[in-house]
Amino acid sequence: MGIRGLVYPHASHGRLNVADRVTRGPEAVLAISDQFRALSQDASMWISENPCPVTDLAVSFTTLVQSYGTAADSLAAEAKTPNRADWPAIDREFAGLHDALAEALSTMSEQAGQ
């Protein structure tokens, strides 16, 4: 569960696996994009109302939140592709989100150690 009770997609290491591809069609990808958009909007509002005093963390988490918004747009576009969703592109979006989250957590860990 996440912000406002949103359920984030289950993916190992940020990537859809073959079973996910079989069970998740364009409708599911569109639903995920809607959840990512809501997460991005809610988190952006929260960050603007609760600024982080640690610049590195503020930048890292703002980038992460923006990444979810960008992924939402990309996933929605892929889900609406007339012929078929581009699964490698969707995999790249999930990998990018995984990387952005890892970067944010790494920055947070570094700051905690100081």
Q: What is the pLDDT of residues 75-99, one digit of tens each?
A: 888 888 867 777 788 888 888 888 8
Mean pLDDT within 45-73: 91
Q: Which two tokens stand for residue 111?
A: 């700051």
The answer to whether residue 3 sits within a structural domain is no
Q: Which domain holds residue 52?
A: 8-112
pTM attached to this predicted model: 0.70
The answer to whether residue 69 sits within a structural domain is yes
The answer to whether residue 91 sits within a structural domain is yes
What angle is formed at CA 107 by the lines to CA 42 and CA 4, rounded to 5 degrees? Answer: 20
Could you give the number of structural domains in the chain? 1
DSSP label of 53: S
CB 105 within 8 A of CB 61: no
Indicate the range of 25-29, 61-65, 82-86, 88-92 predicted with least confidence. Answer: 82-86
The answer to whether residue 2 sits within a structural domain is no
The answer to whether residue 37 sits within a structural domain is yes
